[in-house]
A and B are shown apart, each in its own frame.
Chain A
Amino acid sequence: MIELKGISKTFNKGTANENQLLNDFNLTIRKNEFTLIVGSNGSGKSTLLNLLAGTIIPDSGQILIDEKDISSVKDFRRSKWIARIFQDPLSGTAPELSILENFRLASIRTHSKLLFIGTDRKFKDQIREKIAELGLGLENKLDQSMGSLSGGQRQALTILMATSDDTRLLLLDEPVAALDPKTATTIMKLANEIIRKSNLTAIMVTHSMRDVMEYGDRLIMLKNGKIDRDLSGSDKKKVQLNDLYDWFGE
């Protein structure tokens, strides 16, 4: 369970550009819940994800993960619980490392990186099997550099990598927004399958109304740093495309 309690965050405090994005913000994300977050630009979606990831530290309030307070834990230490998928399909992988090496690093996300060679045959077979399930034909290219793949392929692998170690929370920041429509549809479907199969707790920021209709258990709409709408279960299922456009217009 993920809890945000009384979170406030102001950027450029005390200057002419002062911008209070969140004020006494509260949110609880239940285990194994796939939450979608929508909202117009500046509504606080990215700030919310960055607060959870730890790249932004709140001015006040608490962030709890399974009742453990992680509010002041640095980003690279939060990786113990949290995996991230970025909007830029290239930023989740290291281009000059091979596919196998990228997976090795992802598979020890929650561990220390020691003086030990972990890319052995057993590990390779394991990853080959995993990648084969994607059906992208990449399972025989494990030693190829990540940089030689397309954005869509890399994003698909990034999503798979996020699940190769214990993940309590998966953060997705518009994971397919930078891909062409056809690839975006394929990769989003794939992401959903991976999230469902591993029973992940996931939070995804999206601008795609179609994805909102199709995926997730819960829909949260942010407006000016506040929760404007919060729908789950059958309420979420009932949402129509027109409702969404209306809410954005309000």
Chain B
Amino acid sequence: MSFYLSAVILGLGFASLAMGIFISMRIFNIPDITTDGSFTLGGVVAAVLISGGHSPLVALPIAFLAGAIAGALTGIIHTRLKVNALLAGILVMTALYSINLALMGRSNLPLINSPSIFNSLFIPGTEVQQQFIVLIIIISIILVTLVWLMKTDFGLAMRATGNNEKMIRALGVNTDVMKIFGLALANGLTAVSGYLITQVQGFADINMGIGIVIIGLGSVMIGQILFSFKRKETIMIQLLGVIVGSILFRMILAFALSIGIDAIYLKLVVAVFVLAVVSIPNIKSKA
């Protein structure tokens, strides 16, 4: 049971990342893989600040901002220097590897006996209960904020940018600025995910972000499949789908481990699973 509870906690921790991928991939239609770097960046910022004696509450907005700057850089390289989005993301991700290493000063930074966001908010209960409650609160705040944002005039312009760029330019929107903002938001959320996961697992590691974009992508796709029966998909439903998708993803991985699949093959399992999830809608629509 606790096995699956910890899967739920990880799923909630990764939900912020999944919502970030939802924004870059589904709203803006940009394949952004800055993610691998900005996720680690969020974790590194958390570990360095908290182990340096700063409050986890202070580290949270700084982690978001750091990720947002990374995302904005990708956006600027893509829109202003006219570099392919995929390549722009790889460039920033590569550069971030050095930045992260320089920030930490080594490849792994443990957070043993340091305070965490989970025990800084005076919530009663065991460690796992605290984690669960704090994660629910943070993810809810992100969800409500995003749903509100997407309904504002600015949010509508954001959605139209990914949907019909020609039209929204004719309606007076600088789509380059929108894309830079969108990638900043997406990677800010990704960094928050890195910040959360670092505190759940108790350490930051230079390699914690490798292949993480696939986890976000898989979560978004699971969410899409889960709620595809709904005729009218509001942003609220889509984002809820992404969060549930993120949790389900972790459950499935936990299940795979529990039936004795060697941890060495975990990434292989992830890849095959995401492939299955991604291809299901295509096969369905063909029939």
CB-based nearest B residue for A108 = B153
CA distance A74 to B172 in the complex (A): 10
Q: Complex Cα distance A105/B151, Å?
A: 11
A96 surroundings in chain B (CB, below 8 A): 159, 163
Could you tell me the distance between the alpha carbons of A96 and B163 in the complex, rounded to whole angstroms?
A: 7
Smallest Cβ distance from A229 to chain B, in angstroms? 30
Binds B, one of A23-31, A34-42, A80-88: A80-88
Chain-B contact segment, one of A111-119, A180-188, A211-219: A111-119
Whether A115 and B172, one on each chain, are in contact in the complex, defined by CB atoms closer than 8 angstroms, is: no
Within 8 A of A (CB), among B74-118: none
- Report yes or no: A114 in contact with B163, Cβ–Cβ below 8 A: no
Q: Given the complex, which residues of A lie within 8 Å of B164, measured CB to CB?
A: 91, 93-95
A171–chain B nearest beta-carbon distance, Å: 9
Residues of A near any B CB (own CB < 8 A): 53, 74-77, 79-80, 83-84, 86, 91-97, 101, 104-106, 108-111, 113-119, 143, 145
| Cβ 8 A contact of A94, one of B149, B154, B168, B174 | B168
Would A114 and B167 count as touching, CB distance under 8 A? no
Chain B: CB-nearest residue to A118: B153
| Closest chain A residue to B171, Cβ basis | A109
Identify 18 residue pairs between A and B in the complex whose beta-carbon atoms are under 8 Å apart, listed by A's number. Answer: A76-B169, A76-B170, A77-B172, A79-B170, A91-B164, A91-B166, A94-B160, A94-B167, A95-B163, A101-B159, A105-B153, A105-B160, A105-B168, A106-B171, A113-B153, A113-B173, A114-B154, A116-B152
Look across to chain B and name the residue whose beta carbon is closest to the beta carbon of A93: B167
Beta-carbon contact of B153 and A86 below 8 Å: no
Instruction: Determine the interface band of chain B, counting residues with CB < 8 A from chain A.
Output: 20 to 34
Interface residues, chain B, CB within 8 Å of chain A? 148-149, 151-154, 156-157, 159-160, 163-164, 166-175, 232
Which residues from B are CB-within-8-Å of A118?
A: 152-153
- Which residues of the partner chain B approach A116 to less than 8 Å between Cβ atoms? 152-154
Are A113 and B154 in contact, with the CB atoms below 8 A? yes
Partner of B163 from the list A83, A97, A108, A117 (CB cut-off 8 Å) is A97
Asked if residues A104 and B232 are in contact (CB atoms below 8 Å), the reply is no
Smallest Cβ-Cβ distance to B164: which chain A residue:
A94
Complexed CA–CA distance, A83 and B173 (Å):
13
Contact of B172 among A53, A80, A104, A117 (CB under 8 A): A80
Given known pairs A80-B172, A109-B172, A113-B157, the reply for A91 and B151 (CB within 8 Å) is no
Contact of A143 with B153 at beta-carbon distance under 8 Å, contacts A76-B169, A80-B172, A97-B163 already known: no
> When A and B form their complex, which 7 residue pairs have the shortest distance between CB atoms, in order from nearest?
A79-B172, A113-B157, A94-B163, A113-B153, A94-B160, A94-B164, A84-B170
> Which of A75, A108, A113, A116 counts the most chain B CB atoms within 10 A?
A113
CB atoms of A94 and B169 under 8 A apart: no
B175 touches A76 (CB 8 A): yes
